[in-house]
Amino acid sequence: MGETSKRRTGAEFRVARWVVQHPGSLLLPGAPSVAVGALGADAALEVGSWSAGAAAVGLCGWYRAHPDTFDRYALPVLRAWRRRWVTYMGWRWRNAVLDCGLTTANRRSGEERFPRILAVRCWSPTIDVLRVKLAPGQSAATWQDKLPELADCLKAERVGVEKVKPRVISLIIQRAEPFTEVIPAPEMPQDVGSVDLGSVYIGETEFATEFRIGVDREHVFVAGATGAGKNSVILAALRALAPMIRAGLVRLWLADPKQSEFAALAPIAYRYSAITEPDDEDGDDPYTIADLVREFRADMAATQRHLKAVKDRKITVSRETPLNLLILDEIGAITAYSDIARLLRKDLAVIATQGRATGHRMWGLVQEPSKDVVPIRDLFTCRVCLRVTSAAHVDMVLGEDARARGALADEIPNLPETAGIGFVIRPRTRAPQRIRAAFTDDHEITELVAFVLSGNNDSYLKVVA
């Protein structure tokens, strides 16, 4: 076998390869040349002028006449073209990867090999998505370790990385905060048929798409510091589920040790308790959060027996077999800071592992997501990390290396206008995605309660403050 040559490929062949990789480089200069040869210089100039004028008028007319479709279809293409040939043009990109040490060298020939941009997508003004073909000898992990340096070189707020296929990655580049305005609370559907339990609207993503959660299949875990907007996730979902709550198809079990926002929802709860520890000196027998959790588990067991009897694998949501949502506000007060925490952890672990088929779902909110506080956190299937106070909390919530891949939840400013902003892991991938939950104010909570009670006889409610 012959040795590998140390000579580089000739410049003319490198240019030819670049032209093949960028066919548009031939189209722009080639089209006028063909037109001149076919029509003559004067006719080609006239045709070109008319074509350019018609295109400009058409774009301007589209821009003015129908902003929605222009912004959806044309603007991302124009924005991506500008970013590709201005922000990420050849020498800028080469300098960035050189400065960050993201090139490789052939040990025999000494040729320096560069990662190549395959495509640029700009679905929103603040987020660029670069599809990059890696240089030989690189992996997604190579880039993951260099993301902070790359963000500085590209003058970006944040860079995340996602593996697409072998030797191809996507870089998610955040150039500015995508959420500069509060997202209003979702409108409540007026009938049950308008509710899709598999896709409940919560808010928006950084890609200008809707952030949705499958309430019928997910246990949801929301972590965030005080004022981060944890309740926004829950309240947005409850507004979307309002007709089903009113019809008895969804039952709310509320554990509310903090007794703040969720206290207003007590009238529409199937079960409600705010008592973590009974007062021995009181002498009565209060309905505690522990009682609520045990009853929820017992209801799940009863549904399991029903499914076994009718030989079904899972429930069909109805008044006889409703979807049950156990909402645990400040779950740390239940699993770590009470005398009965050990017993409750066992009940909650059973619910998390067995509640999928029976329609028993658990939503937990917490400020400090460590294993000592929430030992069952890994049993939640959907996790949302809002602003947190420690970099370590990000990986605790979203999984190992989530922060290294771009989920900088600990760097979200501690300001009222950032409430509801956080990160989730994108479906079918391990890449983090920035999201913002819709904000539900006190008036809209009152509206939700009034809507549910307007068609509810309250005969099944058991509310204990």
Model pLDDT, residue 152: 94
Model pLDDT, residue 427: 79
Model pLDDT, residue 446: 94
How many domains does the chain divide into?
A: 2
pLDDT digits (tens, 9 = 90+) for 95-114: 999 999 999 988 877 788 99
The domain boundary residue, chosen from 142, 176, 210: 176
Residues 168 and 202 in one domain: no
Considering the domain boundaries, does residue 50 fall inside one?
no
Q: How many residues are there in the chain?
A: 465
Q: Distance (Å, rounded) from C-alpha 205 to C-alpha 211?
A: 6
Model pLDDT, residue 461: 46
Residues 201 and 168 in one domain: no
CATH of the domain at 166: 3.30.980.40
| Strand bridging mode 210-213 / 200-205 | antiparallel
Residues 146 and 205 in one domain: no
Model pLDDT, residue 339: 67
pLDDT digits (tens, 9 = 90+) for 263-274: 999 999 999 998
Q: Distance (Å, rounded) from C-alpha 272 to C-alpha 238?
A: 15
Model pLDDT, residue 36: 52
Considering the domain boundaries, does residue 36 fall inside one?
no
Model pLDDT, residue 221: 96
Residues 390 and 312 in one domain: yes
pLDDT digits (tens, 9 = 90+) for 157-214: 999 999 898 999 999 999 999 999 999 999 999 899 999 999 999 999 998 899 999 9
pLDDT digits (tens, 9 = 90+) for 115-130: 999 999 998 889 999 9
Residues 151 and 277 in one domain: no
Find tokens 């660029």 and name the residue: 128
Q: Distance (Å, rounded) from C-alpha 302 to C-alpha 358?
A: 9
Residues 376 and 433 in one domain: yes
- Residue 339 Cα distances to 291, 293, 334, angstroms: 14, 15, 9
Considering the domain boundaries, does residue 18 fall inside one?
no
Q: Distance (Å, rounded) from C-alpha 412 to C-alpha 421?
A: 8
Considering the domain boundaries, does residue 44 fall inside one?
no
Considering the domain boundaries, does residue 2 fall inside one?
no
Q: Which residues of the chain have pLDDT under 50?
A: 1-2, 457-465
Find tokens 């907007």 and name the residue: 229
CATH of the domain at 287: 3.40.50.300
The domain boundary residue, chosen from 176, 206, 227: 176
Residues 81 and 165 in one domain: yes
Q: Which two tokens stand for residue 446?
A: 């009152």
Per the structure, the complete domain to which residue 138 belongs is given by 61-176
Considering the domain boundaries, does residue 54 fall inside one?
no
The number of CA neighbours under 13 Å toward the Cβ of 427 is 7
Q: Residue 349, class by beta-carbon neighbours within 10 Å (0-12 exposed, 13-18 middle, 19+ buried)?
A: middle
Distance of CA 452 to the CA centre of its chain: 29
Considering the domain boundaries, does residue 129 fall inside one?
yes
Residues 65 and 205 in one domain: no
Residues 86 and 131 in one domain: yes
Residues 172 and 260 in one domain: no
Q: Which two tokens stand for residue 365?
A: 């909110």
Residues 172 and 203 in one domain: no
Q: Distance (Å, rounded) from C-alpha 28 to C-alpha 22?
A: 11
**Region for residue 96 given its phi and psi (left: phi exceeds 0; alpha: psi -120 to 50; beta: otherwise):** alpha
Cβ 174 vs Cβ 157: under 8 Å: yes
Residues 170 and 197 in one domain: no
The domain boundary residue, chosen from 176, 205, 237: 176
Q: Distance (Å, rounded) from C-alpha 117 to C-alpha 108?
A: 25
Considering the domain boundaries, does residue 130 fall inside one?
yes
pTM of the complete model: 0.82
